[in-house]
Amino acid sequence: MKSARLFSCIFLLGLLFCSCDGKSGFESGYIPVSDDGLIYYEAEGEGTPVILLHGHTLDLRMWDPQMDSLKAHYRVIRPEMRGYGHSSKQFEGHHHTHLDDMIEVMDALHIDKAHVVGLSMGSFVASEMVAMHPERLLSATLASGGIRHMPGPSTPFDSTELAKLNASIEANLAMGLDAWKERWINQLVEGGGSRRESIRESVTAQVNDWDGWQLFHNEGRLYYGFEATDTLKARCPEVPVLILSGENEHKGHSSALRYLPNGREAFIKDCGHMSNMEQPEEFTRLVLELLRSCENPLMTDSKVCRHG
């Protein structure tokens, strides 16, 4: 009950001190979601909405390299998922999914449909949006991630899963948060290409600001997993989808393409997992190509958006 009152107070303060600049189109605030959650978001620009979904251990700052180009033509919304950034913390025993939180964010902001761009964890969520809520999407860019191969929230944890989870928690406790973060930062950076060191400062700042709660707790089932996969196969949604990956992490063609009649994939050269930060110009170019092709298929050679 204390947490519920705390989050209610934070939400009211967020409304009271909500930043809204009519000249620049900037706004920020907190959106209440299920189970006493609060999602922080920032939005800039005007026009068709584009929602950017960040990766695990990161926050909305990871999308800084895309902002100038996107907000010049679109309304760009950057939410921070529960447990990250300024959004409310996760708690054991609370039941939510990132997908449902993001749909509630869209509803609260009166967004009927949007272009969605996700990377890594953000791509897990965006992939589930394609499968389970295609009617809410104008397009989806799925970078370095897809639907999780795991049971969804309707399936309780069995004893084997709990044993593995507890073993992982014990290993993380033994390593310690600082050591875990140092190793993780190195993995994100050193898996990249020739420009990999250019992202170290930003990645380090974001990871160090993350509290690491997920490493030491059972966060429950945050993804629909197999249920989303089954829904994707049954629906074969016609949402225009671009599947991206960095050349250094490419592990073969995406199997999801067979269920995406308006889908294609592309590989960004000379980079790893954090493609939007390592090669921001090419990443942004590919995203804009998709967005513009959906507005006017004659403006681009992209065959992602097929109409008729």
Give the closest residue to 273 by CA, choosing from 238, 295, 251, 246.
246
Query: What percent of the chain has pLDDT above 70?
Result: 88
Encoded tokens for 2: 């204390």
Q: Two tokens at 188?
A: 């994100």
How far, rounded to the nearest angstrom, does the alpha carbon of residue 112 sit from its chain's CA centroid?
19
Token representation of residue 192: 């990249």
pTM, full prediction? 0.90
User: What are 165-212's pLDDT values in tens digits?
Assistant: 999 999 999 999 999 999 999 999 999 999 999 999 999 999 999 999
Task: Write out the H or E segment, with its range, that includes residue 266.
Answer: strand 263-268
Rounded-to-integer distance, Cα 185 and Cα 200, Å: 8
Residue 252's pLDDT is what? 73
In sequence order, what are the residues at sequence separation of 6 or more whose Cβ sits closer than 8 angstroms to the Cβ of residue 117? 50, 51, 52, 53, 66, 126, 140, 141, 143, 287
Q: Each residue of 221-275: pLDDT tens digit?
A: 999 999 999 999 999 999 999 999 999 987 777 889 999 999 999 999 999 999 9
Give the other-Cβ count within 10 Å of 279's Cβ: 25
Q: Could you give the domains of the chain?
A: 2-299 (3.40.50.1820)
